[in-house]
Chain A
Amino acid sequence: MISPSTATSGPDIAFRKVSKVYGNAEGGFVALDKVDLTVSRHEFVAIVGPSGCGKTTLMRMAAGLDFPTSGDVLVRDRQVEGPGPDRAVVFQQFALMPWKTVRDNIGFGLKCRGAAPSEIKQVTDRYITMMRLQGHESAFPHQLSGGMQQRVAIARSYAVDPDVLLMDEPFGALDAQTRLVMQEELVQLSRVNPRTVVFITHSVEEAVFLADRIVVMGRNPGRIVEIIDVKSLRLSERWDELPIEEVMDLESFTHMRTRVWKLLKDTKRSTAA
């Protein structure tokens, strides 16, 4: 469905001097202030930052659900004009259709693309297994726990096999164990099928484990405080060869984690003042 990754090297997503102001011009609230950020093809970027710093707003603009007050949002050098089949979103509030079963929710994107029923069945089966939702295929969302609903929402976006995955705290409602499993699964998945991921999280550990780069944001106005490269460290320290719980014990990992934490603490102090 999605064309195989061609070796273009330009950025997949580019935010250029993006500002977002809510309300009128004078008394407006600046949710984002001249944000510059590029995400390369097949790069995994995690965004961390205090609540209300504009993470969701930034992601919605890449999804084509919100538009900047000024500045440009580009996906593959094209101005974003609306949602597109190349980008899938995992919403902070799951946003499942209550009138569709687990299977139909997961298969909805494929159905929209005109996939054959047999293909939909096959793909949904795969993600139902991956997300450990077996036995709940015919359940409706309100019959599931929050964590299960979240896994349906994730499966739904994986199922369309998008070039760009935009995930807003996708593991927020999961218990610690499931969360670890999902994190490893996501790493696996990106290895088998590389794609560009923008991943919003409140968990610094999660960001350090998953991301190639971590974007630390600050508030009032919403802005990027620092961008940290994790990829080179991960490669040199060979994190990829270890299971997640061992990675999280490595000194290189804990160092990085502490560094991000400090940054977050500093931004909070500076905005509090």
Chain B
Amino acid sequence: MTTLSNAANATAPKAARRMRRRLPGIGESLVLSLAGFAILFGGWWLLARSGLVPEQVLPGPDAVLAEILHLMRTPFAGSTLQMHLLSSIGRYLMGLALAVAVGLPLGLLMGWSRRVERAISPVFEALRFIAPIAWLPFATLWFGTGIGGPILIIFSGAFPPCVINAYYGAKLIPTPILEASRTLGASSLRMLTDVLAPGALPSIIAGVRIAAGIGWQSLVGAELIVVSSGVGYLMMQGQTNLSTAVVMAGMAAIGVTGFAIDVLLRLIESRIQKGALA
């Protein structure tokens, strides 16, 4: 949202300046984003009401909202909407945590040591072009419907941004600081925790945010196939029952949760950046 409005400012500076005089700062972007939602929901509602598309194919926003409320009270495909969501989030956090725990140290070490970089880089570059969803058949063969499958898929989505951002962050630490740390006797572990990680922190946080987004997207993809609970599974069951409203309720849950995750991480990011500048 902010990047969009920034771009708009850049391309139409005069118009933006004129608008800002009337609606200062946050107010302006809030109004604009509300307008965006109004157009989306308004158009959707009109289309659904027009009778051009049958109700089963495109339920209106009101019908989807009703379906969401219904799913929250009555179990569908085994449990309520919030329980499906919870089970998705649980898997998601496990996969993301694994990607962060492995990806960040690996990226930092690659950025620090030319040798590690030379050893890991080619393998990493080759694997990273396999889209998360392309790991699905492999994950299914290995893990069946167990927890391992979705975790592998979230991992494959969230891992690259963790590695790449940690790598570039470490590369940006001035050489004299790395040398000074070594002459002071820092072990590799100490370098990681006291020098590379804090030195690369801004880049790391941005990487984790990207990883969190990609991980969430990959997870729902994975749940369409390999599991028997979760929002993705709920949507697949909705599809089987020819209930577009259930499918769309699932989509809404995914979108809102993803958005909430991003907002939360942005908050943490600005907190840390303020702390680092203090």
Q: Which residues of A contact B (CB under 8 A)?
A: 63-65, 82-85, 87-89, 91, 93-97, 99-100, 108-109, 111-113, 156, 160
B250 to chain A, nearest CB (A): 43
When distances are taken between beta carbons in the complex, the residues of chain A under 8 Å from B180 are 89, 91, 95-97, 156
Kindly list 16 other residue pairs between chains A and B, CB separation below 8 angstroms, not including A88-B184, A100-B198, A156-B184: A65-B179, A89-B179, A91-B176, A91-B179, A94-B176, A95-B177, A95-B179, A95-B180, A97-B180, A97-B199, A99-B198, A99-B201, A100-B194, A108-B186, A109-B184, A113-B185
When distances are taken between beta carbons in the complex, the residues of chain A under 8 Å from B174 are 95
The residue on B at minimum CB distance from A112 is B185
How far is B183's CA from A269's CA once the two chains are assembled, in angstroms?
37
How far is B195's CA from A95's CA once the two chains are assembled, in angstroms?
12
Query: Count the B residues whose beta carbon is within 8 Å of the partner chain — how many?
Result: 19
Most buried by A among B176, B179, B185: B185
Cβ-based interface call for B182 (8 A): yes
How far is B186's CA from A156's CA once the two chains are assembled, in angstroms?
13
- A112 touching B176 by the CB < 8 A rule? no
- A85 touching B199 by the CB < 8 A rule? no
When distances are taken between beta carbons in the complex, the residues of chain B under 8 Å from A84 are 185
- B179 touching A85 by the CB < 8 A rule? no
Which residues of B in the span 171-199 have a Cβ within 8 Å of any Cβ on A?
Answer: 174, 176-177, 179-187, 190, 194-195, 198-199
Known: A97-B195, A99-B201. A160 touches B184 (CB 8 A): yes
B181 to chain A, nearest CB (A): 7
How far is B186's CA from A82's CA once the two chains are assembled, in angstroms?
12
B182 to chain A, nearest CB (A): 5
How far is B198's CA from A94's CA once the two chains are assembled, in angstroms?
18
How far is B179's CA from A83's CA once the two chains are assembled, in angstroms?
9
- B179 touching A112 by the CB < 8 A rule? no
Cβ-based interface call for B276 (8 A): yes
When distances are taken between beta carbons in the complex, the residues of chain A under 8 Å from B198 are 97, 99-100
How far is B183's CA from A84's CA once the two chains are assembled, in angstroms?
6
Most buried by A among B174, B182, B199: B182
- B185 touching A160 by the CB < 8 A rule? yes
- Cβ 8 A contact of B184, one of A64, A65, A94, A112: A112
How far is B276's CA from A98's CA once the two chains are assembled, in angstroms?
9
> What's the dominant secondary structure at chain B's contact region?
helix
Known: A99-B199, A99-B276, A112-B190. A83 touches B177 (CB 8 A): no
A-B contact pairs, 5 of them (CB 8 A): A91-B176, A97-B177, A97-B194, A99-B199, A112-B187
How far is B201's CA from A95's CA once the two chains are assembled, in angstroms?
18
- B199 touching A109 by the CB < 8 A rule? no
Most buried by A among B181, B184, B187, B195: B184
- A109 touching B276 by the CB < 8 A rule? no
- A108 touching B194 by the CB < 8 A rule? yes
B6 to chain A, nearest CB (A): 28
When distances are taken between beta carbons in the complex, the residues of chain A under 8 Å from B276 are 99
How far is B174's CA from A95's CA once the two chains are assembled, in angstroms?
8
B271 to chain A, nearest CB (A): 15
How far is B177's CA from A94's CA once the two chains are assembled, in angstroms?
9
Known: A108-B194, A112-B190. A95 touches B176 (CB 8 A): yes
The residue on B at minimum CB distance from A60 is B179
Most buried by B among A64, A82, A99: A99
When distances are taken between beta carbons in the complex, the residues of chain B under 8 Å from A96 are 177, 180
How far is B75's CA from A152's CA once the two chains are assembled, in angstroms?
64
- A88 touching B183 by the CB < 8 A rule? yes
- B183 touching A112 by the CB < 8 A rule? no
B62 to chain A, nearest CB (A): 52
The residue on A at minimum CB distance from B184 is A109
